[in-house]
Structure formats: structure tokens, C-alpha cells
């Protein structure tokens, strides 16, 4: 798996992401600066990591979403290339138009930094094939603006097309407002685009991939991507 990690000013999770990608694929990802207008040849996966691009000025992800490299990412996605956005990366993908909706301020206004449980809604996608449908995984979140919102028609379409891949849940997988940490519509933690090749999620799977991190539940996502690309090759 040849991956490319985008780097914007103010991003701070790119090295965690690069480490997780290397662990899963055995290959060092390319780090791609935001001012680039193309991606390295042969890229299989583009990752938009977390952090605070441009200091979250204007709106989270708004300025990064319009950076030169995003045109290359849009072309890449239009050709079916896999794109993963985590945390600020999810916000950037929404602002760039690659994903519908928007991430609003957390409903209770607090920055949330803790482990949460996610229910994997389906296993038949490149981003979830490392898990079983209905499986509950534990991964950290660290965000102030993760409250997913979209208009009613968009939500209906996303749900109808099975595009919610991850939802905040209880340890047993139950979905309830008590476990919906940031007030997201339908407890949405991660969605894909209509074609299913672009995933945005608020939690950080890259931070639960090694024993020393105390949990390895995030590995499945990366292992699944590697397996998907091997099968495709």
C-alpha cells in the first residue's frame, strides 16, 4: 500500500498516522505538503490527518479544504482512489466538498479527549473489512468540533445508502444519546461519500495500533485497507 499523508500548517497528527501506516503496510508513507499540486505517482491511499490546520481560523478545515493539494485529492477521489480523513481531516474533507455535511461545535461546548467506543456498522467496505459488522472498537477522540450535522435530506440519503460506517456507542454496542459524546446527528462518528471511497471520521484509529498504546483496536482499519489493496492488485 502506497500512502500519502497530507501536511498542512497546524496539523499535528501526521507522524502518528505515518507510524500506523508503516506498521500496517511495511511502507513509509509519502508526506505531501499542502502547496503541492499533484500526488506521488502510484498513490493508493491519501490520508488527511488530524490537528488544527491554520489554527482552525474561519471554520475548522475551511482554509485547508481549499489548499492547492486538495484539487489533486479531488481528482484522485474522482478516479476511485481511497481517501481517509481523521479528525481535522474529516473537517477538511467536508469543507472541500468531498463529503457532505459539516462538523459543528460539540453540543456541550467542551473539547473532548478520551477513549470512546464505536460500533462498526458494516464490514463490506475497504475501510471496515478488518472488522466484523456490529463489532465494538475502542479508540480515542480529541476534538472540540465533532458534532456532525447535515440537512434532513442528506442524512436520510446517507442512512439509506448505508454510508455511516462508525457510530458512537456503549461498550455493548448500544446506540444512545448518553454515549453520543458530541451530539452528532444519529451518533455519527464516520461516513463515506456516495462512491464509498472517501471516509471521514472524528476518532483516531492511528492512536490505538500498538500494545504500548494500551489498545490495538484501531489496527483493523489499516489492516483492512492493506488487504483491500492487495486483493485489488
| Residues taking part in catalysis | 87, 204, 206
**Which residue matches cell numbers 483491500?**
228
112 binds other proteins (CB under 8 A): no
Of the residues 2, 22, 59, 74, which one makes contact with other proteins according to CB under 8 A: 59
106 binds other proteins (CB under 8 A): yes
Give the footprint of other proteins on residues 133-172 (CB under 8 A): 147, 149-151
- Label the pairing between strands 147-149 and 164-169: unpaired
Judged by CB under 8 A, the number of residues near other proteins is 20
56 binds other proteins (CB under 8 A): no
Instruction: Say which residues have a Cβ less than 8 Å from residue 86's Cβ, sequence separation at least 6.
Output: 13, 17, 47, 48, 49, 50, 200, 201, 202, 203, 204, 205, 206
| 205 contacts 198 by C-beta, under 8 angstroms | no
Q: How buried is 233 (Cβ within 10 angstroms: 0-12 exposed, 13-18 middle, 19+ buried)? A: exposed
174 binds other proteins (CB under 8 A): no
User: In this complex, which beta carbon is closest to other proteins, that of residue 47 or of residue 141?
Assistant: 141
Which of these, 130, 124, 115, 200, lies nearest to 158 by C-alpha position? 200
Minimum CB separation from other proteins for residue 211, in Å? 38
58 binds other proteins (CB under 8 A): yes
Of the residues 30, 31, 107, 227, which one makes contact with other proteins according to CB under 8 A: 107
| 167 contacts 180 by C-beta, under 8 angstroms | no
Minimum CB separation from other proteins for residue 93, in Å? 13
C-alpha 98/C-alpha 90 separation (Å) is: 10
Of the residues 23, 30, 62, 136, which one makes contact with other proteins according to CB under 8 A: 62
109 binds other proteins (CB under 8 A): yes
C-alpha 75/C-alpha 194 separation (Å) is: 15
Of the residues 14, 44, 95, 206, which one makes contact with other proteins according to CB under 8 A: 95
Q: How buried is 229 (Cβ within 10 angstroms: 0-12 exposed, 13-18 middle, 19+ buried)? A: middle
C-alpha 139/C-alpha 169 separation (Å) is: 12
89 binds other proteins (CB under 8 A): no
66 binds other proteins (CB under 8 A): yes
102 binds other proteins (CB under 8 A): yes
193 binds other proteins (CB under 8 A): no
Q: Given the rule CB under 8 A, which residues bind other proteins?
A: 58-59, 62-63, 66, 95, 100-102, 104-109, 147, 149-151, 183
Amino acid at each position: 500500500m502506497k500512502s500519502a499523508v497530507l501536511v498542512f500548517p497546524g496539523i499535528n497528527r501526521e507522524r502518528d498516522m505515518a507510524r500506523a501506516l508503516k506498521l500496517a503496510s511495511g511502507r513509509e508513507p509519502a508526506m505531501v505538503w499542502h502547496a503541492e499540486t499533484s500526488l506521488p505517482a502510484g498513490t493508493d491511499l491519501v490520508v488527511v490527518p488530524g490537528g488544527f490546520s491554520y489554527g482552525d481560523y474561519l471554520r475548522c478545515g475551511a482554509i485547508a479544504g481549499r489548499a492547492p493539494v486538495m484539487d489533486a485529492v479531488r481528482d484522485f477521489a474522482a478516479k476511485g482512489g481511497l481517501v481517509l480523513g481523521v479528525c481535522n481531516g474529516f473537517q477538511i474533507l467536508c469543507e472541500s466538498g468531498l463529503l457532505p455535511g459539516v462538523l459543528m461545535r460539540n453540543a456541550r461546548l467542551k473539547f473532548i479527549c478520551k477513549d470512546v467506543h464505536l460500533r462498526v456498522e458494516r464490514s463490506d467496505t475497504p475501510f471496515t473489512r478488518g472488522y466484523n459488522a456490529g463489532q465494538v472498537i475502542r479508540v480515542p477522540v480529541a476534538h472540540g468540533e465533532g458534532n456532525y450535522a447535515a440537512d434532513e435530506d442528506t442524512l436520510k440519503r446517507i442512512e439509506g445508502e448505508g454510508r455511516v460506517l462508525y457510530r458512537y456507542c456503549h461498550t455493548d454496542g448500544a446506540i444512545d444519546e448518553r454515549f453520543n459524546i458530541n451530539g452528532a446527528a444519529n451518533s455519527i462518528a464516520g461516513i463515506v461519500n456516495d462512491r464509498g471511497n472517501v471516509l471521514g471520521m472524528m476518532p483516531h484509529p492511528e492512536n490505538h495500533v500498538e500494545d504500548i498504546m494500551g489498545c490495538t483496536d484501531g489496527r483493523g482499519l489499516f489492516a483492512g485497507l492493506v488487504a483491500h489493496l492487495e486483493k485489488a492488485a
